[in-house]
Structure 1
Amino acid sequence: MAGERLEFAPLDASGIVGDRLWGVVDASSERIASPGREKHFIEVPRGYARWTAQDGPAISADGTSWARPDDAEIIGKLSLLFGFPAQLKPFVRRGQEGFRPRYEHAPIHLLSTAALRSLEREMPGSIVDERRFRPNIVVDWPDEQEPIPENGWLGREIRIGDAVLKGSVPCGRCGFITIAQDGIPLDVELLRTVVKRHNRNFGIYCDVLVPGEIKPGDTVTVAPVSA
């Protein structure tokens, strides 16, 4: 539930098809899981989720045994793993009434490898791993004078594969980037550094102007700044 690498991803106006369709909820309080803000939810990233066009969403407590999100047995295993009575609820799409995500800033979150390397140089003793930041798209980009090059892509079109995005706003960060995940230790200094050096922002949000399919290895082209 912390993310996975995809061999290809279709994009529509709402983002990556199949992404963030369901939310983890504490059934005893109806609170949506927020690992970066409440220790109560800190184990949630240890769960697994996937989506395929053939079978739709599936969840797992160990990454090997999969079931539908409403399967009672797998929900019981996730409850034991998380430490609270878990429930998975489907989110409604943008513009609809019903159960909505905690965050709906933009359809796509984009982060560059140049930004990651810049943060590594600022924090040589830390593990700066892209999984901490949960981007939809990681762009392989050379180092520039600007430590976060994608900050300069706001308001510009970004073509990737068949899709065209537009940078909208910087991505503000919370405590989620500090929590321990698989092979990544707790690091509270990470958020402090992002707050101090980058005004709490790291990466950008994007809107989808032209839907299409993207995949690893696609060329990324950023349109010139409008006159």
Structure 2
Amino acid sequence: MQLTVKELWRYPVKSMQGERLASAEVSKGGVRFDRGWAVRDDEARTIRGAKFLGELMQCSARYLSDQVADNGLVPHARITFPNGMEINTDDIRIHAELSELVGRHVTLWPLRPASDEDHYRINKLETGDIMSEVRKMFALKDDEPLDLSQFPPDLVRELTTFVVPPGTYFDALPINILTEASMRHLQTLLPDSKIDVRRFRPNILLSDDAGTTGLLEEQWLGKSLQFGAVGIDVVMRCPRCVMVTREQEELPRDTSIMRTLVRDLNQCISVYGQIKVDGALHVGQDVRVH
């Protein structure tokens, strides 16, 4: 089977629609400048994404350049709102416009150093306790199990204190890989749904030449993917949350996707990886599994 990089994605603002790239530099921190900005709930003093502020997914963002801005870690970006309005991240109006969109007072923040732990800390829970909070994020019904066994134990401990690993705005690990085979499989389970790569927010979408159907990438757990000189270790499956059901652009809200993932796919689709060897990825690149 021949695997090929079909699409590369980067998401300048956490929980907003991203930008497709022809090529991407990757390192230990994932795709360069991925998730460089995030929204912070000022009342809760906590980073919030579309798990709680679903309106964010109706916005899109793209970087204005690949030059680090005066915030010190990432470039400035341009955000497009659902009504077509465009505002740059260095425009003071951005905080008020985002607050109006999501219906609470929020501010937009660039990445902060990992040492600024309070910025990343869970300072207030929406539900009052951590397990209820996790179940809400994963959109689980009362009779549906919560399985965190695929998460490395040290990551679970970290994410009971911090919204994201400090120094990042990633939910878990720095790079996500999805195959067209997995999307075809989910489409067979949900023939009336619109299964689109944008719902699953990967960094890398892989195509194959065999019309394979099934969770192909789950076969690579514990293995490595070779993209030319770049090496990526496949670490864990990616548990899915309410974000896959959110409305964005022409994709309608679709709660059946979540129920099907929980019932038939142990709530997972795609895999998380760690970069073993830095370098450049590009669309059309062949991929080897070893």
Q: TM-score range by the shorter chain?
A: 0.7 to 0.9
Shift of the alpha carbon at 1:66? Answer: 4.2
Identity rate, percent: 30
Equivalent positions of 1:69-148 (< 5 A) are 69-92=89-112, 96-98=115-117, 99-100=119-120, 102=164, 103-141=170-208, 142-144=210-212, 147-148=214-215
The 8 Å contact of residues 177 and 203 in structure 2, kept in 1 or not, is answered as: yes
| In the alignment, structure 1 residue 65 sits paired with structure 2 residue 86 | yes
Matched AA of 2:224: E
- Number of residue equivalences: 217
Shift of the alpha carbon at 1:91? Answer: 2.9
For each residue in 1:93-139, what CA deviation from the matched residue of structure 2 results, as whole angstroms up to 9, or x when unmatched?
Answer: 5x644333535421101000010011011100001111111111111
| In the alignment, structure 1 residue 22 sits paired with structure 2 residue 41 | no
The 8 Å contact of residues 98 and 106 in structure 2, kept in 1 or not, is answered as: yes
Give the direction of change, closer, same or farther, for the CA distance of 1:97–1:143 in structure 2 (3 Å limit). Answer: farther
Gaps of 5+ in 1: none
3-state SS of 2:252 partner? coil
Cα separation, 2, equivalents of 1:162 and 1:182: 36
Give the direction of change, closer, same or farther, for the CA distance of 1:132–1:148 in structure 2 (3 Å limit). Answer: same
Give the direction of change, closer, same or farther, for the CA distance of 1:160–1:213 in structure 2 (3 Å limit). Answer: same
Equivalent residue number for residue 45 of structure 1? 57
Equivalent residue number for residue 220 of structure 1? 287
- Ranges of 4+ aligned residues in structure 1 off by more than 6 Å: none
3-state SS of 1:139 partner? strand
* TM-score normalised according to structure 2 size: 0.69
Task: Quote the RMSD (CA, aligned, Å).
Answer: 2.0
Matched AA of 2:233: K
Equivalent positions of 1:148-187 (< 5 A) are 148-187=215-254
Give the direction of change, closer, same or farther, for the CA distance of 1:82–1:61 in structure 2 (3 Å limit). Answer: farther
Cα separation, 2, equivalents of 1:33 and 1:59: 19
Cα separation, 1, equivalents of 2:284 and 2:101: 36
The 8 Å contact of residues 7 and 216 in structure 1, kept in 2 or not, is answered as: yes
* TM-score normalised according to structure 1 size: 0.87
Cα separation, 2, equivalents of 1:199 and 1:159: 27
Cα separation, 1, equivalents of 2:194 and 2:212: 21
| In the alignment, structure 1 residue 11 sits paired with structure 2 residue 52 | no
